[in-house]
Structure 1
Amino acid sequence: MQQQRRGRRIAMLPEEVDAFLNEERTCRVATSGQAGPHLSALWFVWDGSALWLNSVVKSQRWTDLERNPQGAVLIDAGHEFNELRGVEIRGRFDVVGDVPRSGAPDPELAAPEQLFARKYTGRDEMHFDGRHAWLRLTPQKITSWDFRKM
């Protein structure tokens, strides 16, 4: 993975990145399609090495990633300037599991589905609606900042 070179003074430590990504709930997903850039907000989970998104299959985001699997995600927080912090993850999105997700046992999805269910519903079991499937963003570069360190 490519290392962050600029802004190291305010960069989060790896354990701070993990804590931040486990705490925050909404990310902004950037994809590129025939009509240009596309941004969308989505819930996510972080497993310590990849970001997992449960995406509607019939969406512009999904169509864009089928054509070009490279993209970026931004997770940020803070209101006042000296509170701003965030993480940008750039990399490749991969489809994992069946499309749409049926809920059939899949060892590769057991952990992200449990993380997702606990984070957003407070339960251990995932709900499957026949419209969503899993995207895994494997980081090629992570950039972080925490202006509270200034």
Structure 2
Amino acid sequence: MRPQRRGRKIAMSDDERDAFLAAERTCRVATIGLDGPHATPLWFGWDGTALWLYSIVQSQRWTDLQRDPRISVVVDAGVEYFELRGVEIVGRAEPVGELPRTGTPDAALTEVEKIFGAKYLAANDGEMFHDQRHGWLRIVPTKITSWDFRKLADL
């Protein structure tokens, strides 16, 4: 993975990044479509090494990624300037598991489905849903960039 070159003084540590990605709920996913960039919000899971997207397999995003798996994902938070923080993950998306997902046991998906269920499906006791419309995409980062403007006060 390429190291972050700029903004190292305000970059998050690995622990800060992992806690941030565990807490935040919405990412913005950028793919490359036939007519140019395509950006959409989506829920996600982070397992400490890869970002996971549970996406509708007949979406424009999925179609774009089958043509060109390059992807950029941003998760950000904050309202005031000195509160801004975020993470950008660049990599390649790869489908994992059955498509669409029906819930057949799959060891490769056990951990991320626990993470996703705990984060988003508390009303369902954290149980993962399988509507036979979604599938999993794993993004293994080639580059991670982070920023936390709250650290500017210390500079």
- Asked if TM exceeds 0.5, the reply is yes
What is aligned with 1:10? 10
User: What letter is aligned with 1:72?
Assistant: S
User: What letter is aligned with 2:91?
Assistant: G
SS at match of 2:43: strand
What is aligned with 2:135? 133
| Offset of residue 96 of structure 1 | 0.2
What is aligned with 2:116? 116
SS at match of 1:107: coil
SS at match of 1:25: coil
Q: Is the 8 A contact 2:119 2:126 kept in 1?
A: no
| Offset of residue 92 of structure 1 | 0.7
Q: Is the 8 A contact 2:25 2:44 kept in 1?
A: yes
Query: Quick one: distance in 2 between partners of 1:82 and 1:124?
Result: 34
| Offset of residue 128 of structure 1 | 0.6
2:132 equivalent to 1:101:
no
What is aligned with 2:74? 74
How many residue pairs are counted as aligned between the two chains? 150
5+ unaligned residues in a row in structure 1: which ranges? none
5+ unaligned residues in a row in structure 2: which ranges? none
Query: Quick one: distance in 2 between partners of 1:59 and 1:36?
Result: 16
What is aligned with 1:149? 151
Q: Is the 8 A contact 2:4 2:145 kept in 1?
A: yes
User: What letter is aligned with 2:36?
Assistant: G
| Offset of residue 124 of structure 1 | 3.6
User: What letter is aligned with 2:27?
Assistant: C
Provide the TM-score with structure 2 as the length reference: 0.95
| Offset of residue 75 of structure 1 | 0.1
Deviation string for 1:116-142 (max 9, x for gaps)? 111101224211111000000100000
Q: Is the 8 A contact 2:46 2:52 kept in 1?
A: yes
Provide the TM-score with structure 1 as the length reference: 0.98
Structure 1 runs (4+) greater than 6 angstroms displaced: none
Deviation string for 1:90-147 (max 9, x for gaps)? 0010000011001000000000011111110122421111100000010000000000
- Identity of aligned pairs, percent? 61
